[in-house]
Amino acid sequence: MFIQLVVSGLLLGCIYSLISMGLSLIWGVMGIVNFAHGAFVMLAMYAAYYGDQLLRIDPLLFTPVAILLLFFLGVLVYQIIIQYVVDGPYVSRLLATFGLGFFLINMAQFLWSPNFRTIKESMVHGVWKIGSVMIELPKLASSLGSILVAALVFLFIRKTRTGQAIQAISADKMGAALMGINLKRIAAFSFGLGIACAGAAGSLLATFYYIFPDVASLFGLIALVAVALGGFGSVEGAFLGALILGLVETLGGYYVDPNWKYALMFLIYLGIVLIRPQGLLGRGKV
């Protein structure tokens, strides 16, 4: 049972990691804690749901579409809202994203009702049994998809000129501007890329998770704790923090109490930041 729980926790943590990486990327470039991040995950879940219901496109196949849709939505949100508060007081930045998230959740409740929806059966379904360990294939496929997207994002940041510009802004915004980097263009792209990560995670989650408006609050909070646990500004830290939270959720839910699993996440986070306030891998850069 312990091995079963560890496998389930790691699979769930892989998906959490993709959400968290997007949030960490936005923080690293703009210094904004995007409280609307979970709402974008929720929108991607609904997009995948209607893609399945109306267009008969499985959520796994819909993931590239969700990435593009959420990327352009992220760039649009940056142009309409974020660019006007990014250099303002910290409270203004915080309230702008918090208000945006609140608006998107309530819009979803108005358009689609608070009712739960699910994808009846993904193209990848069933259970893979290895000895006494049973692996749900939808979760496995979603986790592998999350790892693939996360790896591509990581390589993009490390190996491309745009990625190097993102790293430069994260390390020293003024120095990057003096080197001729267009701060607004890179910030808009980074915000869109962070939201695209949320879009990919939402589409992959739709294969097995309940879809409802308030799921935004849950995933937004988990991503925030994972990023803080791993270290704000560290993409690798966000990935590690998400894996830890996935394990805590499954192991704590079984060995302690299902009602306490999310409380245990916060306790683990508090314990680590008391010892290491900057997070596990926090270095102040992407």
What average pLDDT does range 272-279 have in this prediction? 78
* SS3 of residue 211 by DSSP: strand
Query: Does some domain include residue 285?
Result: no
Looking at residue 246, its amino acid is G
What's the domain range around 197? 25-217
Query: Does some domain include residue 5?
Result: no
Query: Does some domain include residue 102?
Result: yes
Share of the chain above pLDDT 70, in %: 98
Measured between alpha carbons, how far is 137 from 276 in angstroms, rounded to an integer? 37
Average pLDDT of every residue of the chain: 88
Nearest to 233 by CA among 286, 186, 278: 286
Asked if 123 and 137 count as a contact pair (C-beta separation under 8 A), the reply is: no
Query: Does some domain include residue 247?
Result: no
Query: Does some domain include residue 277?
Result: no
What average pLDDT does range 38-58 have in this prediction? 94
Q: Looking at per-residue confidence, does 94 or 103 come out higher?
A: 103
Asked if 236 and 230 count as a contact pair (C-beta separation under 8 A), the reply is: yes
Can you read off the two tokens belonging to residue 284?
Answer: 């102040």
Q: Is the pLDDT of residue 99 over 90?
A: yes
What average pLDDT does range 2-25 have in this prediction? 88
Q: Is the pLDDT of residue 34 over 60?
A: yes
- As a residue count, the chain comes to 286
What average pLDDT does range 177-184 have in this prediction? 84
Domain total of the chain = 1
User: pLDDT per residue over 144-180, tens digit each?
Assistant: 999 999 999 989 988 899 989 988 888 778 888 888 8
Q: How far is CA 104 from the centre of its chain?
A: 16
In this prediction, residue 285 carries a pLDDT of 42
Q: Looking at per-residue confidence, does 12 or 261 come out higher?
A: 12
Q: What is the largest CA-CA distance in the chain?
A: 59
Query: Does some domain include residue 263?
Result: no
What average pLDDT does range 44-49 have in this prediction? 96
Query: Does some domain include residue 57?
Result: yes
Query: Within 13 Å of residue 214, how many CA atoms lie on the same side as its CB?
Result: 4
Per DSSP (E only), the strands in the chain are: 127-130, 133-136
Query: Does some domain include residue 10?
Result: no
What average pLDDT does range 117-145 have in this prediction? 86
